Structure 1
Amino acid sequence: MNMRSLKVKDQILRAANEIFQAKGLHGSRMQEIADLAEVNKSLIHYYFKNKQTLYEMVFNNVFYIVAPQIDDIINDESTIEDKIRRFSSNYFAFKQKHPHLSNFVIHELNENGDFFDSLKTHPKFPNIEKFKIQVEREIRAGILIPINPEQLFIHILSLNIFPCMAEPFIRGLTNSDPNTYKSILKTRKTEVADFIINSIKRK
């Protein structure tokens, strides 16, 4: 592929990334992507065959920005407490850098379950088996109170992710303007970690 073709393909991918993140697979039109990329729609079909093919390439690129970071944290050699603190800190830092990515990934996984199954074969797809074993080991060592490891992992995910996904709803309930809510999220990375750790550590 020559340099011009690579440039055009990159333009299409960047435009598709922006449109798909804003509207999802079913809400996006190829003509919108073509207009944003400033190319003829037929060029998109030439490089990517159809919308599904283009979407899968974009989604794979996005998913494998998010997934390896989760996998690296839960499978490193640190303690459960350190994992929880790193996850919270890294998630909110990631959210600031990529404000729409995690919402896009979660929404699209819910909408396209069959496609999600194909992602699970990737070597960096998060695997919580080591995490579960470590939780059980720390329970036996008297570090943690008895807790289901899978429930703990769900707590970590949901308590970090939900406030970002449900921002309009929570802002309405708390009567917070955008700047106030940013301050709430900034402190939450330590608040949520402290909350989880204090609830599972043996006193």
Structure 2
Amino acid sequence: MNAINKDNTEEKILKAARTIFVRKGMDGARMQEIADEAGINKALLHYYFRSKQKLFEAIFVNLIGKIFPNITSVLLSEKPIEEKIGMFVDTYIDMLLQNPYLPAFMLKEINRDSDFFENTIKHKKIELRSIFKMLESEMEAGKIRKMNPRDIIANLLSMCIFPFAAKPMLKRILFGDNHQQYDEYLAQRKSSVKEFVLHSIMVPQN
């Protein structure tokens, strides 16, 4: 098997596996379903990935990279704190608009195996301690209100993620199940989240 065909086959497998895992979760997915989705036989699937766990780990690690896009590089940049918050929200919500299935899938699998999620985060080297220290420095400089820096990160993440994770419920409650209106609402979330977060944390400057 030449390198090009091998790459194409592995890409097809990963794409098919993501579809099945997102639809059915780790517990509900079957290797035969993934092979069928990829258009290959089960033996070839096992040649590339010896077990469902190994295949799931490859998918999950890749998706973690999507759902935590450039957190460290954005929040630890030299830009003013209000610009960093704005860049984070823009980047994060753009990613969610492109991958709206991610939040519900991630929440389900995190609850299923929190230890695996924690180890994956460590592997990705997301520098949360450095981010907390940066926020504390901004507080000491009088630029943002003194508060638990974990609350700032939790508020940012939850305000970005929740409308996507709870889409079926919120769409019905807020917009009478109107798909177009809800999609328009999601598209304008960036502005409202930035305004809300910055208003809640910034110290007015004279």
Q: Give the TM-score normalised by structure 1.
A: 0.89
Equivalent position SS for 1:83: helix
1:105-144 to structure 2, matched below 5 A, reads: 105-122=106-123, 124-144=124-144
Shift of 1:191: 0.6
Partner of 2:101: 100
Residue 146 of structure 1: aligned partner = 146
Would you say 1:170 and 2:170 are equivalent positions? yes
Is structure 2 residue 91 aligned with structure 1 residue 67?
no
1:29-77 deviation digits (Å, cap 9, x = unpaired): 1111111111111221222111111111111222223334223222222
Equivalenced residue count is: 202
The one-letter code of the counterpart of 2:140 is R
- Aligned pairs (5 A) from 1:45-64: 45-64=46-65
Code of the residue aligned with 2:159 in structure 1: it is L
2:186 corresponds to 1:185: yes
- Structure with more relative contact order (C-alpha pairs < 8 Å, separation 6 or more): 1
1:70–1:105 distance in 2 versus 1, CA, 3 Å: farther
Aligned-partner residue type, residue 145 of structure 1: R
Q: 3-state SS of the aligned residue for 1:142?
A: coil
Query: What's the secondary structure of 2:58's corresponding residue?
Result: helix
Paired AA for residue 159 in structure 1: M
Counterparts of 1:9 and 1:63, CA distance in 2: 19
- 1:136: how far off? 1.9
Give me the TM-score of the superposition, normalised by structure 2.
Answer: 0.88
CA distance, structure 2, for counterparts of residue 73 and residue 107 of structure 1:
27
Aligned residues: percent identity? 36
Which residue in the other structure is 2:30 paired with?
A: 29
Gaps of at least 5 residues in structure 2 are none
Distance 1:155 1:44, change over 3 A: same
- Residue 120 of structure 1 aligns to a residue whose secondary structure is helix
RMSD: 1.9
The answer to whether the 8 Å contact 2:72/2:131 transfers is no
